[in-house]
Amino acid sequence: MPITVTMPQLSPTMEVGTLARWLVSEGDTVTSGDVLAEIETDKATMEVEAIDDGTVGRILVAEGTENVPVNQAIALILEEGEEALEEEPGSIEAVPLPSGPASGEADSEPEKAVVQDGPGKPASSGRKRAASPLARSMALKAGLSLDDVTGSGPGGRIIKRDIEKALKAGVPATSPAIASAWEEIRVTGMRRVIAERLQEAKQTIPHFYLSLDCDIDRLLEARREINAAGYRVSVNDFIIRALALALRDVPDANVQWGGDVIRRFAHVDLSVAVAVDGGLVTPVIRDAASRSLLDIATAMRDLADRARSGKLMPEEYQGGSFTLSNLGMYGIREFDAVINPPQAGILAVGAGYPRPVARDGALAVATLMSTTLSADHRVVDGATGAALLNAFRNFIESPTSLLL
């Protein structure tokens, strides 16, 4: 009897997922543990493995299909000796192939595609041809009619490679190319969650902002000495350690608004923003205040690498008590960050730049790093926020305290 491969539940709250990519084809022989497909959740890409040996008999859900419910059948595996699947009444439940995209292209689109030649100017519309938005955009820019293209995707859907093949074959253009038309890009699950959470944050959390500058000349020198000794520590690792210790010393900032209660956390579980393709992930350094600088450096490199490759487990990016967002490596001098709900604070850190300062009544130059705290005024008051920032600055400007 065929083995049914279903959409896995990758976290307790997961209800649907995107079938990002198939790594096997119908007819392929697989063994237990082989990776069959990649499933995209809101923050990571996880792998689906074969649980037994067999042959891929039928792929039921095309790659690129969004919102596949948990436990829905996505493929069937034939055991040894079983023949290719035939559609017989009562044998298996038919699961139709969605008319979604192939090869990871964007999927859903309206019944009638309307191309805009600039804002608010419909340029063309007509009979719908099944085509991905990317293929439709490519055809539009080339002045190519979809009626002259043969689709190779599921159900004859026109995809990117079909447009490329038609252009290579010299299919004549039927209309002038419209260079000003835009391309519609599918909203990923990650981008949708980011949009929803940040909109919620700005609409429901009363933000207030506090800023100060930190002199990081001594920190930079300490980092040079540590790395010269054969270790590998970044400025960001110092910042993580300093913020964790500041939150430990100012526990009233390591809190969360709970409506009828205020939650004050016993440990500093620090979320650290990491830019990835298509969005942002915040892996968590657990109990960061109790970890050494070198331990933080090692853990952060591992988490950041796996965040960028989509290999984080849900428990590794959920449940932080406070967030750090550092854009200094991108040359940003200062910025205000949006709080990551349900947290009550986020520290935005910019790059260090040489700036004039007054020291002992004389003009000098120091490398100053601008920091801005965004705090939830329902639970963090101005004085508490100021205490947190000052504690953070004290640690940054006394880097030996971060080595203890």
Judge contact between 276 and 307, C-beta under 8 A.
Answer: yes
Q: How far apart are CA 39 and CA 20, in angstroms?
A: 5
| Contact predicate 261/268, CB 8 Å | no
Based on the residue annotation, tell me whether 267 is a catalytic residue of this protein.
no
Cα atoms in the Cβ-side hemisphere of radius 13 Å centred on 17: 30
Q: Provide the β-strand partners of residue 21.
A: 38
* Residue 250 CA from chain centroid, whole number: 30
Give how far Cα 213 sits from Cα of 96, 177, 346, Å.
59, 52, 16
The Cα angle at residue 58 between residues 52 and 88, in degrees rounded to 5: 110
- Separation in Å, CA 248 to CA 214, 266, 293, 388, 392: 19, 9, 15, 9, 10
Q: For 191-211, what is the HEC assignment?
A: HHHHHHHHHHHHHHCCEEEEE
CB–CB of 185/106 below 8 Å?
A: yes
Class of residue 193 by CB neighbours under 10 A (exposed 0-12, middle 13-18, buried 19+): middle
Active-site pick, 197, 377, 378, 397: 377
Give catalytic residues, as residue numbers.
377
